[in-house]
Amino acid sequence: MAEAVALRVAIVQMKPDKGQYRANLRSAGEAFSQLAADSPNLVVLPEAAMTGYFLEGAVYELAITAQRFARDLAATWREASGGQTADLVAGFFENDDGNYYNSAAYVHVEPRAERIVHVHRKMFLPTYGVFDEERFLSRGRHLGVFETEFGRMALLVCEDACHAITATLAAVKGARVLIVPSASPGRGIEVEGELASITQWRDTLRLAAMEHGVFVIYAGLTGFEGGKGMTGSSFIVDPRGSILVRAPATEACIIRADLDLAEIDRARATLPLLGDLAAVLPNLLLDPELPLPRGGRDAADC
């Protein structure tokens, strides 16, 4: 019988002022103050949480090192929470020695120190239509999973999570919780209920959660940037595909939930698709018809 492991999660759905890093950190701090009484284990913020998403060339003025970002985020949390221990996740633009990435950091914060547990560099940089990430940024090349006090997790930044294979590989590599900081400009007004792009996100991640028996935590940026409205709509989906909690589209807000991580084991016992996949995945990936490099110099590019 699975042992109950509780993970108290909060998502801070940020509506940042464009380019105002310090002011946005202060806004995050105000949200952290609201959360402190609940003592969350994990606080998740969206992609580009402290700068806004569409930066064009200004990304070179605002990108910082992961160490600096972790330090600022941790200091903000510490001051707001009175020194509580918690794990924080947020998206930021990373400057690594003159190479620029759209990254997200998982930071473990203690009263007197913080530790970067993992930095994920966005792998899939949307560069079409309204998007121009690869014009300014480099791709991440590695999909890592990492250990936390609450089990193995993975970070997927926005479009990373639109590709079914990334959630699949993260789950096969043992991630039990997928965290998706995102900034999604809304579109699609012809359909009933809500913007089509909001439905698309929820459908995509519900399917990932159900297929692999994982929790998915989606933190969406909100607010309008030059006419493009970020869809917010942060949500948490359980390993059976049920939406536990969900935020509105256009308002900055906080959503919270206590996750029973043992639910992952129960869901997988009921629907053991992940184990089935792990058994057959090598056959799928070794299929000679797949357009994959088979060693040699070209392999490094994939």
Partner 1 sequence: MTLPIVEPGAALLEPPGLNPAVTADWLVAFLRDELVLRRKIPRAVIGLSGGVDSAVTAFLCARALGPENVYAIRMPYRSSNRSSLTDAALVVEATGIRCVTIDISAAVDGYLQSEPDADARRRGNVMARTRMVVLFDQSAKFDALPIGTGNKTERLLGYFTWHADDAPPVNPIGDLFKSQVWALARYLGVPKPLIEKAPSADLEADQTDEADLGISYARADAILACLLEGYSDAATVERGFAKEEVELVRRRVDSTHWKRHLPTTAMLSNTAINEFYLRPVDY
Contact residues toward partner 1 (CB under 8 A) are 15, 17-19, 52, 54-58, 186, 189-195, 223-227, 229, 249-250
Query: Please, which residue, 97 or 190, has the CB nearer to partner 1?
Result: 190
Rg (CA), the chain: 19
* Shortest spacing between CB 9 and partner 1, in angstroms: 26
Cα dihedral value 74, 76, 80, 82, nearest 10: 40
**What is the distance in angstroms between the CA of the first residue and the CA of the last residue of the chain?**
41
CB of 248 to partner 1, least distance (A): 10
Kindly write down the DSSP assignment for every residue of 34-84, as one continuous string: HHHTT--SEEE--TTTTT-S--GGGHHHH-B-HHHHHHHHHHHHHHHHTS-
Q: How far is the CB of 67 from partner 1 (least distance, A)?
A: 25
Nearer to partner 1, 193 or 295 (CB): 193
User: Nearest 5°: phi and psi at 174?
Assistant: 105, 0
Q: Between residues 189 and 279, which has the closer beta carbon with respect to partner 1?
A: 189
Closest distance of CB 187 from partner 1, Å: 9
Instruction: Classify 294 as helix, strand or coil.
Output: coil
Compute how many other C-beta atoms are within 10 angstroms of the C-beta atom of residue 96. Answer: 15
* Cβ neighbours, 10 Å, residue 231: 24
Would you say 41 or 231 has its CB closer to partner 1?
231
| Shortest Å distance, C-beta 131 to partner 1 | 13
Pick 84 or 231: Cβ nearer partner 1: 231
